[in-house]
Amino acid sequence: MTDVTQFYIDGMWVAPQHAETMPIKNPATNAQIGTLSLGGGADVDCAVAAAKAAFETWGLTPKAERRALLARLLEISEAREEEMAQAITAEMGAPITLSREQQAASGTGHLRAFLDAFDAMDEEKTLPNGDILSHEPIGVCGLITPWNWPVNQISLKVIPALAAGNTCVLKPSEHTPLSAKLYAEMIDAAGFPAGVFNLVFGDGPTVGAAMSRHPDVAMMSFTGSTRAGTIVSKDAADSIKRVALELGGKSPNVIFADADLEARVPEGVFECFSNTGQSCNAPTRMLVERSVYDRAVELAAEAAEAQAVGDPMQEGDHIGPLFDQIQYDRVQLMIQKGIDEGARLVVGGTGKPAGFEDGWFVKPTLFADVTNDMAIAQEEVFGPVLVMIPFDTEEEAIAMANDTPYGLDAYVSTGDEARALRVVRRLRAGGIHINGRGTDYGSPFGGFKQSGNGREGGAHGLAEFYEVKVRPPFTG
């Protein structure tokens, strides 16, 4: 059992002022593996006060000193990466190979990219008109991160916030406290001054709302559902906070007849199922040109049937469980909706895979002959559920791809470069994958429409955490 009963505030591990607790569970077995203490408004007040006091000096710390601490954090993160992978597998069920190669690795990968962006950034420069422009920290930043990519999202918020000279209060998902506690330990070991980074555990309606409404918090950065992001924005509005949101997605995967079907279709299936479908940018809608649609369905069915489900502690490319019963029940409901709406169930369906009755495992599921107005084509399922839809023309494909409230990522496969560039230009999405290739650490990540606002990662993600000030040159 691993109990997480303290918060990290003002450079110390302290007991919460709020006495409520919740179990920490392993989603592969539904067994309790620890207990988490949940905070309240008083804990947020203490954390924000510590961050506000620390900002008075940290906000003036020279860039070189901030960079040295981040470089030290990178060394510690690399040394403890296996611990991070094990924590993520235990708390949210990501298979250990995925945890090592992507989940835990994202923490160090983003940190390296931010260091490169930080090195390249001039915090002060002269404009063509002779005025002096300076980039300065915003103040106290409230950071709320989700359970599905825990350290990925923590690093995308904490690193640029601290690099820019801000102080912060982090509220990670209460469902993934082990990785967050480990991250706080690494921040502490790196030697950041007391109060620069603070950690309070709690739920969104209590701790998240207290942060969003707090008058001394200057910025909120939130990753999660569109519904919750709307609430954060409303809570932050009274104090005119800066708000950055990375929200949901329903990413289209547009496959034209001239694409390499044998490679792109199975790849799209496995990309959708990766992390058990619990990724906001998963390509969950496969749009296929009608002339090759039947063959694509065959290839997708073969890939879906081949997708193994297994114990997260075992190495391999299998998928693990969903992270809890609430998510399991929602995915079951969405699969049943697809059946009720008349989509053709090709692989999978409702219920648990044979031999995996204890945890929150689901069957990898493939629907064909879906129409874009069905719930399974419009709503974010957040499970290993792929829908396939045929199209006839390039115009129809673009219209269908954009016919969603979201605009996070989009995927395009074609052998025609001119077509690829035409389609990419018209897709309303923040990130594009072409012929199986996506972007890397250091590129901005974020979406259009209800997928949020602002960008995370690299130079653009760093810029989100700066204010801009301009002055004339001193003339005496």
Contact between residue 260 and residue 252 where contact means Cβ atoms under 8 Å apart? no
C-alpha neighbours within 13 Å on the C-beta side of residue 229? 20
- For 71-96, letters b (16+ CB in 10 Å) and e give eebbebbeebbeebbbbbbbbbbbbb
Q: Where are the alpha helices (DSSP H) in 131-257?
A: 150-163, 177-190, 209-213, 226-237
Nearest Cα residue to 142 out of 34, 214, 91: 214
CA distances from 411 to 42, 75, 93, 267, 295 (A): 45, 35, 27, 11, 19
From 267, 272, 280, 380, the catalytic residue: 280
Distance CA 306, CA 309 (A): 10
Contact between residue 408 and residue 430 where contact means Cβ atoms under 8 Å apart? yes
**What residues have CB less than 8 Å from 460, skipping those under 6 apart?**
444
**What's the burial of 140, exposed, middle or buried (CB within 10 Å: 0-12/13-18/19+)?**
buried
- Mark whether 246 is an active-site residue: yes
Task: Return the residue matching tokens 């300065």.
Answer: 136
CA distances from 422 to 127, 258, 425, 427, 445 (A): 35, 15, 5, 9, 21
- Mark whether 357 is an active-site residue: no
Q: Give me the residues paired with residue 12 across strands.
A: 9
The two tokens of residue 305 are 């049937």
Q: CB count, 10 Å around CB of 474?
A: 6
Angle at 321 (CA atoms; ends 144, 405), nearest 5 degrees = 50
**53 membership: H or E segment, kind and range:** helix 41-58
From 246, 267, 380, 464, the catalytic residue: 246
Residues forming the active site: 246, 280
